[in-house]
Structure 1
Amino acid sequence: MNQNISFKDYAFVAVQVLLFIAYFLPLRISDIQLPEWLCYSGLVLLGFSILFGAIALLQLNTKLSPFPSPVASGKLITNGAFRISRHPIYTALIFSGFGYAIYGSSLYRISVTLSLLILFYYKSVYEEKLLSRRFPEYQDYKKRTRRFI
């Protein structure tokens, strides 16, 4: 997988792992009351997010890496889930986080998911600089496809 991994790559992944751990801690900031229909819509959002993420994972196949630096043998994928979002796995994780947080009426999990959104934004900015250097056609792809949904 010859991948040039920098300190910045490790830092992004470390913060991401810490936020994932924080998400699943059984903590509550305060109770929020959401209508039942909204709670169940969180499950629908979670389901669609898992499906969307699974499609992106299947497309990446063996080229999957937690690091923002492109895999040496990787190719630019612009179809399937990548036609909808330049970062479909980040998108799926963000929407899954929001979906489950809404289902559980958890202000704490919504806060952690907002932190993940901020992290994924900066991680994707860094990743896109690297992708632009590696793939000249990335700039055209960037113009026609959103970062997240």
Structure 2
Amino acid sequence: MRRLDLPPLWLLAFGFLAWVIARADPWDLSLGRWTQLPAGLLIGGGLLLILVAVVQMRQHRTAVMPRREASRLVTSGVFRRSRHPIYLGMALVLLGWVLRIDAPLALPLVPLFVWLIERRFVVPEESALALRFPAEFRRYAQATRRWL
């Protein structure tokens, strides 16, 4: 079951739930057509952020998958702005998707997704990094925000 507990699967589940909410909206609420450009930018930007972060982690030869032990603490590139750019990218993709499918009732799923990812993945990962790289992680955590 732990193999199925992965952030991309949670993103897919939340995206599907947003789609269900959009289809079941009894009031036929709409955010308007102006949301299509921001939706595309959020989805594209989120995917690009994820890709850049994964490439940087690969360049540093450290684990990308959650719950795997990191061999190095990556603090440069996109990790200089956010301690968790991959999860931030996923949140941007989800927000973009909600805008793209014009589902205002699904907007609360975005902070719920962030909360779930933080509890299930971010906090345990940061605890592991703090144990593995105590001084370096402490400095990094003080200098770099968790999300933005």
Question: For the superposition of Structure 1 and Structure 2, which TM-score range results when normalised by the shorter chain?
Answer: 0.7 to 0.9
Structure 1 window deviating more from structure 2 (115-124 vs 56-65): it is 56-65
Paired with 1:70 and 1:15, the residues of 2 have a C-alpha distance of 17
Structure 1: stretches of 5+ with no match in the other structure = 1-6
Paired with 2:3 and 2:104, the residues of 1 have a C-alpha distance of 26
1:20 to 12, 34, 56: 12
Paired with 2:95 and 2:3, the residues of 1 have a C-alpha distance of 24
Among the aligned pairs, what percent are the same residue?
Answer: 26
Conservation of the 8 A alpha-carbon contact between 1:85 and 1:147: yes
Structure 2: stretches of 5+ with no match in the other structure = none
Root mean square deviation, CA, Å? 2.6
Paired letter, 2:5: V
Residue 100 (str. 1) matches residue 97 (str. 2):
yes
Residue 40 (str. 1) matches residue 37 (str. 2):
yes
- How far off its partner does 1:48 sit? 1.2
Paired with 1:107 and 1:86, the residues of 2 have a C-alpha distance of 29
What SS class does the counterpart of residue 43 from structure 1 fall into?
A: helix
Paired with 1:85 and 1:65, the residues of 2 have a C-alpha distance of 15
Q: Please list every run of at least 4 consecutive aligned residues from structure 1 whose deviation after the TM superposition is greater than 4 angstroms.
A: none
Conservation of the 8 A alpha-carbon contact between 1:38 and 1:102: yes
Conservation of the 8 A alpha-carbon contact between 1:85 and 1:148: yes
1:62-141 matches, within 5 Å, as: 63-71=62-70, 74-107=71-104, 109-122=106-119, 123-136=121-134, 137-141=136-140
- How far off its partner does 1:60 sit? 1.4
Conservation of the 8 A alpha-carbon contact between 1:19 and 1:112: no
Paired with 1:140 and 1:96, the residues of 2 have a C-alpha distance of 29
What SS class does the counterpart of residue 67 from structure 1 fall into?
A: coil
- How far off its partner does 1:42 sit? 1.4
Q: Cα deviation per residue 1:34-79 (whole Å; 9 max; x = unaligned)?
A: 12222321111111111111100101125344323433xx200001
How many residue pairs match? The answer is 139
Distance 1:56 1:19, change over 3 A: closer
Q: TM-score, normalised by structure 2?
A: 0.79
Conservation of the 8 A alpha-carbon contact between 2:32 and 2:102: no
Distance 1:132 1:13, change over 3 A: same
Paired letter, 1:75: R
